[in-house]
């Protein structure tokens, strides 16, 4: 999943972005509101985490621009304004969730995860495709009784394909959602990642769950 994080505090920006990456997200960060608005329009993020009070264009203004452009990107607001009126205002202005400072890091990660699930129509943290079972909160994968050990990037890739199970996911989409702007994705990175993931799934008994549609992309589906 790819997250856009807009925050002007250098300390928070670095620490929270690091925590999100360690949790398997691809994260793009910016300290300026207008840049954040443009990124949100240009890139296919799954969730945006916005500090309300950022220079240039505040968090509410960023969401206003997205909604006017028809962008339905889920938004989690972060702010020190704790009054009920401020929270209601934030949600009425297009936010999907609102977290007041100071917040627990675990809570932030859980709320981002919940927004990602909702983005793909999932209501439960458990994702089951055939014998594959993903726990999106614990970031674990089981194949029948076998527990799979995946790197954060591999898990992120499998989770993304699982959220879109049955759909053809192009390489471009995988690049956009799994890799942040810190990386320089090249075409064989995705191929290699798919290849490694397939081999781990095969070893666990989930052979053929990821199929290639030549020229189109990849599909994760239940093996008949």
Partner 1 sequence: MKSIQRHLRTRLLTVFTILVVTGAGGLYWAVRSALLEQFDAGLRVKAMTVVTSATQRRGDVDEKFSDKFLREFDDDVATDFFQLWQITRQQDGREVTTVEGRSDSLVKGDLPLEFGPIDAPVYGDLILPVTNKPGRAIGVRFTPRYNRRDEDTANDLREAIVVVASDRSELDTLLARIGGLLLAGGVVVLGVTMLVVPALLRPGLRPLHEVGELASQIDARTLTRRFPVADVPAELQPICERLNDLLQRLEYSFERERRFSGDLAHELLTPLTELRVLTESSVKWPETAGPRRSAETLTIIERMEADITSLLELSRAEHQQVQAKHEQVDLGELVGQIWASYASRALDRKLDVELAGPQSASVATDPVLFRLVVGNLMANAVDYAPVNSPVTVEWDVVEQTIAVSVTNLALELLPEDVPCLFDRFWRKDAARSENHHSGLGLSLAAGLAEVLGGRVDANLAETGELTMTFTQMVGAEPAGGDTGNGDAVT
Q: Which stretches of the chain bind partner 1, using CB under 8 A? A: 8-9, 11-12, 15-16, 18-19, 22, 31, 33, 53-56, 58, 80-82, 100-106
Radius of gyration, alpha carbons of the chain: 18
Least distance in angstroms from the C-beta of 48 to partner 1: 17
Taking the least distance from each CB to partner 1, the nearer of 58 and 173 is: 58
Taking the least distance from each CB to partner 1, the nearer of 31 and 91 is: 31
Least distance in angstroms from the C-beta of 56 to partner 1: 8
Least distance in angstroms from the C-beta of 199 to partner 1: 28
Least distance in angstroms from the C-beta of 44 to partner 1: 27
Hey, is 196 helix, strand or coil?
A: helix
Taking the least distance from each CB to partner 1, the nearer of 22 and 147 is: 22
Taking the least distance from each CB to partner 1, the nearer of 7 and 154 is: 7
Least distance in angstroms from the C-beta of 155 to partner 1: 16
Tell me which residue of 20, 62, 44, 28 sits closest to 152, measured CA to CA. Answer: 20
Q: Which residues contact 172 (CB under 8 A, 6 or more apart)?
A: none
Taking the least distance from each CB to partner 1, the nearer of 72 and 107 is: 107
Cα dihedral 82/86/89/90 (nearest 10): -40
Least distance in angstroms from the C-beta of 22 to partner 1: 6
173: burial class by Cβ within 10 Å (0-12, 13-18, 19+)?
A: middle
Give the separation between CA 66 and CA 149, rounded to whole angstroms: 38
Taking the least distance from each CB to partner 1, the nearer of 102 and 215 is: 102
**Using an 8 Å Cβ cutoff, are 177 and 1 in contact?**
yes
DSSP for 80-134, please give it.
S---HHHHHHHHHTT-SEEEESS--HHHHHHHHHHHHHHHTT--SSEEEETTEEE
């Amino acid at each position: 999943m790819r997250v856009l994080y807009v925050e002007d505090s250098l300390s928070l920006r670095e620490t929270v972005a690091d925590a999100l990456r360690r949790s398997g997200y691809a994260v793009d960060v910016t300290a300026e509101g207008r840049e954040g608005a443009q990124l949100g329009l240009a890139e296919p993020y799954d969730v945006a985490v916005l500090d309300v009070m950022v220079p240039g264009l505040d968090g509410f203004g960023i969401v206003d621009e997205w909604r006017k452009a028809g962008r339905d990107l889920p938004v989690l607001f972060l702010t020190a304004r704790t009054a009920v009126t401020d929270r209601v205002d934030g949600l009425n202005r297009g936010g999907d969730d609102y977290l007041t400072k100071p917040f627990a890091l675990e809570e932030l990660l859980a709320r981002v995860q919940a927004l990602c699930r909702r983005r793909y129509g999932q209501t439960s943290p458990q994702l089951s495709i055939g014998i594959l079972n993903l726990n999106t909160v614990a970031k674990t994968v089981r194949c029948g009784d076998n527990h799979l050990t995946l790197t954060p990037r591999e898990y992120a890739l499998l989770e993304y394909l699982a959220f879109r199970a049955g759909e053809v996911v192009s390489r471009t989409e995988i690049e956009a959602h799994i890799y942040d702007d810190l990386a320089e994705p090249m075409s064989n990175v995705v191929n290699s990642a798919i290849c490694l993931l397939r081999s781990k799934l095969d070893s666990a008994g989930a052979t053929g769950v990821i199929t290639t549609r030549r020229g189109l992309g990849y599909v994760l589906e239940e093996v008949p």
